[in-house]
């Protein structure tokens, strides 16, 4: 159209209108020349599953949004909802300012190409495309693809810095990415005093100052539909998601989510104001290691990671409190009293977030590498893999056993209370505290020596605050292959940590209801330590957390951890491992999964199981193989993905789910009948062996017994209270 100039702004993790450099530029620069702006958010097909947005009967042109190593959904239900809410909030805010946000699904470049073509057919040229830059490899690739499409269409392309971090890139003093110190403390010292570092925030554009919206808005490209509203969008995003667990935990009665917050810039600012006025920011330092409740930490992470709020906006409100410059905070504790330990602590953590992102900038795709950022080629840690094609030939235990242990870890039945509570909380709510995350990551990587990327991908699926840099760098850090100067030497003892941070056992009891009626903390944190009579009284005597704990840690109340820090429990015949076999002699080698009792006699008992204990394993593997081979979304629940040799749950599209609502086929496990336990013949606790073994019924191992999936996915009736 003659005289008009159109800008397309592709939003990604900059889901806010205030303190947004692009909107600010458009609102305040007189000669930018644009008569129209079309802001677009594309649900990216490779990061969020968009199969639920397909038109009836259509097939997606894209592979499913599954993770590379484990084949988990890359975005589970909690974050899918949160993103939808955040996107919708931007739309509402822009509408209130006389603009709008167009919401699409697909591959960003395909949507852009279609938008440019569709507008071109109506005589409207797209002159410029802008987006904000990210530092992770996948996002950089997307930027390059967008640039290429722009070139092809004769459209200008510009990348903006997002400015959502605490210290602006222009102010860090780092001349190039590789200048970043490999130790956080060195970086922090370079940046202090932190209170002086952030740039001022950019205000919300005034109503009517943004360029107009084009008269005709291009439709959602085929074969996807446009959601009719926020509820419809949420439901469609959630509908294809399966739990990926063979035995998903039930939602514990009475448990309340520590993260009942909804997404969006508006809610982010409400939360921030609440934290200031309630005194939460002042007490942050004392409470930040908490485990239960909404207010022990800020719960700003999900907003920060999607860019619903910027770190400098958080800093500004803290400063207003400290300086006494916002009358709305006049009645808050600490008003006008300067920086305190709490507000200082929040700034410190925000700098951690910056640092993790600068690590991504420095190390690029090494963020996702098994050997981590800094290890050279000679690094030789023997990670254990649940995948046959990825495991070393001499791996012990075998991949099938690692897979069994991994499943227990994911579903939260390891027998370590703190780990299990955290994993179940994460599964049900999308959140778990920093303290719990450290323990969980350490447990998988250091106690179990399992390929830490399974944990990182599980977190990617479930965390409502998933952030590529914060997640993967933290996993590397805790796994000992990232930027922790203590590396392998830092190992969290989950029992000691539970005694230190869950002093009444409230957290573990909240999320692991099976242990609620046990009396001593020691037993709550490790139910296998309870007396047989107590276990029988609370109905736990036959529970796998007790009969087959993944790891048992000897710990006495004088707080000194005892016992070996072995990754997988010892090999058969090493004196601590054996468990009694199943009565048909089909038990596992107890040593592979955490045996801690044991003397020669116990080992003998364990051996028959060890020798014949493959029914379960092979069954599981064959089950998985069957799913993998299944290319289409059949009722067998299979999926195939080029990089995924490790299918877990059958991914089913809505139509099929209606047909076969809650059953997964093709599982190698039969949840009810696989275990034929008996007591280890040599006592059951302490150093004398313990409640015996998981002997696996071979028949069921080979049989693909259909598994009834609890109705958690996708109905979402256990999402916890929402405020």
Annotated binding site for FAD: 284, 297-301, 465-467
Q: Is 708 helix (H, G, I), strand (E, B) or coil?
A: strand
The interface with ligand FAD within residues 660-689 (CB under 6 A) comprises none
Is residue 352 a contact point for ligand FAD (CB under 6 A)? yes
Of the candidate spans 321-329, 464-472, 492-500, 573-581, the one that interacts with ligand FAD by CB under 6 A turns out to be: 464-472
If you search the block for the tokens 């830490």, which residue do you land on?
452
In whole angstroms, what is the distance from residue 362 CA to residue 353 CA? Answer: 14
Nearest to ligand FAD of 96, 185 (CB atom): 185
Q: CB of 250 within 8 A of CB of 412?
A: no
Is residue 474 a contact point for ligand FAD (CB under 6 A)? yes
Residue from 300, 391, 410, 498 touching ligand FAD (CB under 6 A): that is 300
Q: How far is the CB of 648 from ligand FAD (least distance, A)?
A: 20
Is residue 461 a contact point for ligand FAD (CB under 6 A)? no
Q: In what order do the strands lie in the sheet with 101-106?
A: 101-106, 36-44, 6-11, 126-132, 156-160
In whole angstroms, what is the distance from residue 667 CA to residue 177 CA? Answer: 46
Sketch the per residue contact string, 425 through 444, with ligand FAD: x for CB under 6 A, - otherwise: --------xx--xx--x---
Q: How far is the CB of 370 from ligand FAD (least distance, A)?
A: 16
Closest to 652 measured CA to CA, from 668, 663, 667: 663
Is residue 470 a contact point for ligand FAD (CB under 6 A)? yes
Nearest to ligand FAD of 115, 304 (CB atom): 304
Q: How far is the CB of 688 from ligand FAD (least distance, A)?
A: 36
Q: How far is the CB of 517 from ligand FAD (least distance, A)?
A: 30
In whole angstroms, what is the distance from residue 702 CA to residue 619 CA? Answer: 4
If you search the block for the tokens 């009645």, which residue do you land on?
331
**Hey, what are 306's tokens?**
């999607």
Q: What angle do CA 328, 433, 235 make, to 5 degrees?
A: 85
Closest to 404 measured CA to CA, from 574, 252, 548, 529: 548
Peptide bond into 432 cis (omega under 30): no
Is residue 551 a contact point for ligand FAD (CB under 6 A)? no
Q: What angle do CA 358, 363, 366 make, to 5 degrees?
A: 130
Residue from 102, 291, 332, 350 touching ligand FAD (CB under 6 A): that is 350
Is residue 423 a contact point for ligand FAD (CB under 6 A)? no
Q: What is the CA 581 to chain-centroid distance, rounded?
A: 36
The number of beta carbons lying within 10 Å of the beta carbon of residue 554 is: 15
In whole angstroms, what is the distance from residue 223 CA to residue 175 CA? Answer: 46
Of the candidate spans 293-301, 578-586, 634-642, 679-687, the one that interacts with ligand FAD by CB under 6 A turns out to be: 293-301
Q: How far is the CB of 454 from ligand FAD (least distance, A)?
A: 12
In whole angstroms, what is the distance from residue 435 CA to residue 228 CA? Answer: 40
Q: How far is the CB of 358 from ligand FAD (least distance, A)?
A: 11
Is residue 483 a contact point for ligand FAD (CB under 6 A)? no
Of the candidate spans 70-78, 295-303, 380-388, 555-563, the one that interacts with ligand FAD by CB under 6 A turns out to be: 295-303
Is residue 353 a contact point for ligand FAD (CB under 6 A)? yes
Nearest to ligand FAD of 297, 423 (CB atom): 297
Is residue 298 a contact point for ligand FAD (CB under 6 A)? yes
The DSSP secondary-structure symbol of 54 reads B
Which residues does the annotation place in the binding site?
A: 284, 297-301, 465-467
Nearest to ligand FAD of 266, 422 (CB atom): 422
Q: How far is the CB of 663 from ligand FAD (least distance, A)?
A: 32
Nearest to ligand FAD of 483, 547 (CB atom): 483
Is residue 459 a contact point for ligand FAD (CB under 6 A)? yes
Is residue 445 a contact point for ligand FAD (CB under 6 A)? no
In whole angstroms, what is the distance from residue 334 CA to residue 276 CA? Answer: 9
Sketch the per residue contact string, 83 through 122, with ligand FAD: x for CB under 6 A, - otherwise: ----------------------------------------
Give the list of residues 6+ apart from residue 163 with CB closer than 8 angstroms, or none.
19, 21, 199, 202, 310, 312
Which pairing describes strands 707-708 and 663-664: parallel, antiparallel, or unpaired? antiparallel
SS (H, E, C) 668-694: CCCCCCCECCCCCECECCCCCCCCCCC
Q: How far is the CB of 304 from ligand FAD (least distance, A)?
A: 4
Residue from 465, 502, 589, 703 touching ligand FAD (CB under 6 A): that is 465
Nearest to ligand FAD of 63, 181 (CB atom): 181
Give the list of residues 6+ apart from residue 597 with CB closer than 8 angstroms, or none.
576, 680, 682, 683, 684, 685, 686, 687, 688, 689, 690
Of the candidate spans 294-302, 484-492, 616-624, 645-653, the one that interacts with ligand FAD by CB under 6 A turns out to be: 294-302
If you search the block for the tokens 């006049």, which residue do you land on?
330
The interface with ligand FAD within residues 330-349 (CB under 6 A) comprises 346, 349
Q: CB of 210 within 8 A of CB of 99?
A: yes
The number of beta carbons lying within 10 Å of the beta carbon of residue 57 is: 7
Is residue 23 a contact point for ligand FAD (CB under 6 A)? no
Q: What's the count of helices (H) and strands (E) in the chain, helices before strands?
A: 25, 7
Q: How far is the CB of 480 from ligand FAD (least distance, A)?
A: 12
Nearest to ligand FAD of 300, 410 (CB atom): 300
Is residue 276 a contact point for ligand FAD (CB under 6 A)? no
Is residue 305 a contact point for ligand FAD (CB under 6 A)? yes
Give the list of residues 6+ apart from residue 31 with CB closer than 8 angstroms, or none.
none
Nearest to ligand FAD of 383, 639 (CB atom): 383
Of the candidate spans 90-98, 123-131, 266-274, 298-306, the one that interacts with ligand FAD by CB under 6 A turns out to be: 298-306
Total of residues contacting ligand FAD (CB under 6 A)? 29
Q: How far is the CB of 672 from ligand FAD (least distance, A)?
A: 33
Q: Is 655 helix (H, G, I), strand (E, B) or coil?
A: helix
The half-sphere exposure of 48 on its side-chain side, counting CA atoms within 13 A, is 29
Is residue 267 a contact point for ligand FAD (CB under 6 A)? no
In whole angstroms, what is the distance from residue 442 CA to residue 444 CA? Answer: 6
Is residue 49 a contact point for ligand FAD (CB under 6 A)? no
Residue from 475, 614, 669, 713 touching ligand FAD (CB under 6 A): that is 475
Residue from 299, 509, 627, 685 touching ligand FAD (CB under 6 A): that is 299
Nearest to ligand FAD of 463, 481 (CB atom): 463
Nearest to ligand FAD of 268, 610 (CB atom): 268
Element (H, E) at 623: helix 614-629
**Hey, what are 673's tokens?**
């009948």
Is residue 356 a contact point for ligand FAD (CB under 6 A)? yes
**Hey, what are 90's tokens?**
């931007």
The number of beta carbons lying within 10 Å of the beta carbon of residue 326 is: 16
Q: CB of 205 within 8 A of CB of 90?
A: no
Binding interface with ligand FAD (CB under 6 A): 288, 297-301, 304-305, 346, 349-350, 352-353, 356, 433-434, 437-438, 441, 459, 463, 465-467, 470-471, 474-475, 478
């Amino acid at each position: 159209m003659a005289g008009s100039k159109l800008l397309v702004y592709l939003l990604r993790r900059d889901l806010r209108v205030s303190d947004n450099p692009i909107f600010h530029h458009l609102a305040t620069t007189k000669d930018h020349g644009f008569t129209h702006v079309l802001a677009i958010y594309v649900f990216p097909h490779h990061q969020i599953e968009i199969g639920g947005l397909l038109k009836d009967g259509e097939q997606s042109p894209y592979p499913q949004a599954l993770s590379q190593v484990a084949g988990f959904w890359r975005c589970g239900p909690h974050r899918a909802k949160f993103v939808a809410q955040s996107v919708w909030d931007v739309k509402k805010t822009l509408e209130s300012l006389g603009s709008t946000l167009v919401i699409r699904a697909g591959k960003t470049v395909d949507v852009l190409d279609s938008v440019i073509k569709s507008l071109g057919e109506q005589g409207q040229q797209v002159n410029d495309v802008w987006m904000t830059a990210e530092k992770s490899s996948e996002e950089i690739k997307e930027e390059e693809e967008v640039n290429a499409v722009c070139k092809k269409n004769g459209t200008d392309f510009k990348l903006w810095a997002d400015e959502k971090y605490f210290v602006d890139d222009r102010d860090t003093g780092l001349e190039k990415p590789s200048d970043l110190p490999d130790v956080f403390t060195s970086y922090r010292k370079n940046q202090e005093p932190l209170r002086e570092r952030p740039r001022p925030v950019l205000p919300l554009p005034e109503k009517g100052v943004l360029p107009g919206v084009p008269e005709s808005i291009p439709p959602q490209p085929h074969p996807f539909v446009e959601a009719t509203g926020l509820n419809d969008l949420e439901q469609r995003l959630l509908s294809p998601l399966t739990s990926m667990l063979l035995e998903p935990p039930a939602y514990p009665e009475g448990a309340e989510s520590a993260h009942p917050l909804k997404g969006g810039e508006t809610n982010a600012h409400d939360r921030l104001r609440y934290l200031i006025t309630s005194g939460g920011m002042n007490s942050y330092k004392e409470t930040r290691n908490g485990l239960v409740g909404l207010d022990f930490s800020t719960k700003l992470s999900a907003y920060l990671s999607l860019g619903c709020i910027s770190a400098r906006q958080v800093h500004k409100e803290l400063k207003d409190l400290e300086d006494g410059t916002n009358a709305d905070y006049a009645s808050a504790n600490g008003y006008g009293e300067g920086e305190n330990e709490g507000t200082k602590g929040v700034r410190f953590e925000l700098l951690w977030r910056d640092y993790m992102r600068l690590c991504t900038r420095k190390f690029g795709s090494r963020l996702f590498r098994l050997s981590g950022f800094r290890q050279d080629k000679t690094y030789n840690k023997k990670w254990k893999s649940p995948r046959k094609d990825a495991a070393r030939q001499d791996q012990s235990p075998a991949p099938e056993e690692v897979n069994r242990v991994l499943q227990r870890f994911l579903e939260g039945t390891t027998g370590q209370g703190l780990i299990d509570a955290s994993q179940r909380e994460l599964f049900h709510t999308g959140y778990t505290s920093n303290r719990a995350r450290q323990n969980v990551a350490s447990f998988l990587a250091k106690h179990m020596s399992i390929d830490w990327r399974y944990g990182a991908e599980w977190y990617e699926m479930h965390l409502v605050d998933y952030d590529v840099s914060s997640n993967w760098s933290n996993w590397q850090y805790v796994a000992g292959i990232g930027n922790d100067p203590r590396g392998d030497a830092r190992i969290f003892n989950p029992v000691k940590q539970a005694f230190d941070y869950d002093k009444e056992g409230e957290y573990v009891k909240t999320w692991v209801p099976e242990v609620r009626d046990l009396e001593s903390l020691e037993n709550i944190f490790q139910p296998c330590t309870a007396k047989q009579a107590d276990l029988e009284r609370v109905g736990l005597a036959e529970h796998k957390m007790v009969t087959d704990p993944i790891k048992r840690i000897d710990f006495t109340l004088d707080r000194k951890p005892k016992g070996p820090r072995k990754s997988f429990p010892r090999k058969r015949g090493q004196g601590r491992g054996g468990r009694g076999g199943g009565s048909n002699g089909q038990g596992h080698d107890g040593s592979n999964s955490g045996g801690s009792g044991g003397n020669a006699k116990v080992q003998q008992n364990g051996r028959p199981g060890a020798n014949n204990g493959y029914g379960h394993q092979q069954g599981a593997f064959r089950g998985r193989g069957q799913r993998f081979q299944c290319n289409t979304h059949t009722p067998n629940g299979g999926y195939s993905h080029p990089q995924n040799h490790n299918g877990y749950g059958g991914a089913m599209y809505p139509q099929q789910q209606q047909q076969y609502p809650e059953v997964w086929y093709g599982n190698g496990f039969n949840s009810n009948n696989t275990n034929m336990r008996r007591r280890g013949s040599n006592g059951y606790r302490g150093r004398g062996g313990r409640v015996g073994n998981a002997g696996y019924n071979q028949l069921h191992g080979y049989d693909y017994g259909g598994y009834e999936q609890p109705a958690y996915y996708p109905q979402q009736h256990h999402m916890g209270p929402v405020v």
